[in-house]
């Protein structure tokens, strides 16, 4: 897999609750930092006090190999109680596009968390530029890091909703 292919990762979790109980937790930027090994939380920008279409937010990240950094994202799709999507950096050429999707099923709600890398530059592209012969290995490792972090976030959301944590 090459960066130009737009590599993707998706994880999901079944939560024994309706979307109305899950939505406020999965859209609370401050809580993400409680669960993610990389994301340290975030804050709404430009006077916004919550998510909506076009709203910007700042996220803080930390990674053992690259240190700490901040990103600015924009919510590019907003369908309350169902889906929200945000683009990191430039909306036209984001570094990544992330998505939370809530799907009602008989046993509760299936919460999907997805990411697509690129097409814009990111920390991953900087690493690839330094070691172009290792691009596929770099992508595979980054996707695995995403999977682990996304799983942790979904497990945290599930625990918060089902057990009030």
Q: What is the pLDDT of residue 11?
A: 98
Q: What is the pLDDT of residues 99-144, one digit of tens each?
A: 999 999 999 999 999 999 999 999 898 999 999 999 999 999 999 9
pTM: 0.94
Q: What is the pLDDT of residues 5-29, one digit of tens each?
A: 999 999 999 999 999 999 999 999 8
3-class secondary structure per residue, the chain: CCHHHCCEEEEEEEECCCHHHHHHHHCCHHHHHHHCCCEEEEEECCCCCCCCCCCEEEEEEEECCCEEEEEEEEEEEEECCCEEEEEECCCCCCCEEEEEEEEEECCEEEEEEEEEECCCCCHHHHHHHHCHHHHHHHHHHHHHHHHHHHHHHHHHHHHHHHHCC
Q: What is the pLDDT of residues 36-83, one digit of tens each?
A: 999 999 999 999 999 999 999 999 999 988 889 999 999 999 999 999
């Amino acid at each position: 897999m090459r960066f130009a292919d737009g590599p993707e990762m998706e994880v999901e979790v079944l939560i024994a609750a309706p979307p109305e109980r899950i939505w406020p937790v999965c859209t609370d930027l401050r809580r993400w930092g409680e669960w993610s090994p990389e994301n340290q939380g975030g804050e709404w920008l430009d006077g916004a006090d919550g998510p909506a279409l076009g709203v910007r937010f700042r996220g803080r990240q930390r990674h053992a190999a690259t240190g700490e950094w901040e990103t600015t994202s924009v919510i590019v799709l907003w369908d309350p109680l169902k889906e929200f999507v945000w683009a990191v950096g430039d909306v036209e050429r984001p570094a990544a596009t992330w998505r939370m999707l809530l799907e009602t099923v008989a046993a509760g709600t299936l919460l999907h968390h997805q990411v697509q890398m690129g097409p814009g530059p990111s920390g991953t592209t900087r690493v690839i530029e330094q070691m172009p012969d290792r691009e596929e290995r770099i992508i595979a490792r980054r996707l695995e890091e995403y999977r682990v972090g996304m799983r942790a976030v979904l497990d945290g959301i599930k625990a918060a909703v089902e057990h009030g944590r």
